[in-house]
Amino acid sequence: MNTGIISVRYAKALLAYAKNTGKEEVLYKEMRTLSESFEEFHTLREALENPILRTEKKEMLLITAAGINVSDQYKRFIQLVLKNKRETMLPLISLIYINLYRKDKNIYTAKLITATRVDKEIEERIARIIESKTKGTVEFQTKEKPEIIGGFVLFMSGYRADASVVSQLNRIRKQLIEDK
């Protein structure tokens, strides 16, 4: 059984259902929360794989993992997945749904890593620059990582721009070693 193909089908069906009911954005937020729950709590995945755990308990876990007050559309989708015994595919289904939604809505993700905290004004300026270049919306995330010493690392849609001090020092070190 190819879990990738099955997961794509479920995610596409959920997106079509969300569009028909006008709940695309709501389901997008719920699937993001679910995906983050899978990432943060590895025991959630183990619980879903447990054949002894009753379906009702799994449903409660999945509703809680998506944020307690979830939409009826999300509940119906989870019930369908559980009925068809595809709950172990939910981590992948949620990721695929997120990607399909972003592609449909022309949303790009960007992650900026800096050595120190960045002002909100700078974040917004970078997001505006990216939005003007991509002609889409940007979901912007920042992270502090003191070990890069200075500069920044920007990840966006599979691309990486590394202007950190630590990477520049590593390049210089590599050049010095090669020149010996």
**Using the 8-state DSSP alphabet, how is residue 68 labeled?**
S
The yes-or-no verdict on residue 130 having pLDDT over 70 is: yes
Half-sphere exposure at residue 134, Cβ-oriented, CA atoms within 13 angstroms: 19
pTM over 0.95: no
pLDDT at 66 over 90: yes
The closest alpha carbon to 65, from 106, 37, 43, belongs to 37
Confidence of residue 4 (pLDDT cuts 50, 70, 90): confident
Q: Which residue has the tokens 């990486």?
A: 160
pLDDT digits (tens, 9 = 90+) for 89-111: 999 999 999 999 999 999 999 99
Whole-number Cα distances in Å, 59 to 11, 70, 131, 160: 18, 12, 38, 38
User: Mean pLDDT over residues 10-37, rounded?
Assistant: 96
State mean pLDDT over 14-19.
97
Q: What percent of the chain has pLDDT over 70?
A: 99
pLDDT tens for 167-179 read 999 999 999 888 7
Confidence check: pLDDT of 119 > 70: yes
Mean pLDDT of the chain: 93
The answer, yes or no, to whether residue 51 has pLDDT greater than 70, is yes
From 124, 85, 84, 107, select the one nearest 32 (Cα to Cα): 107
Query: What's the one-letter identity of residue 127?
Result: A
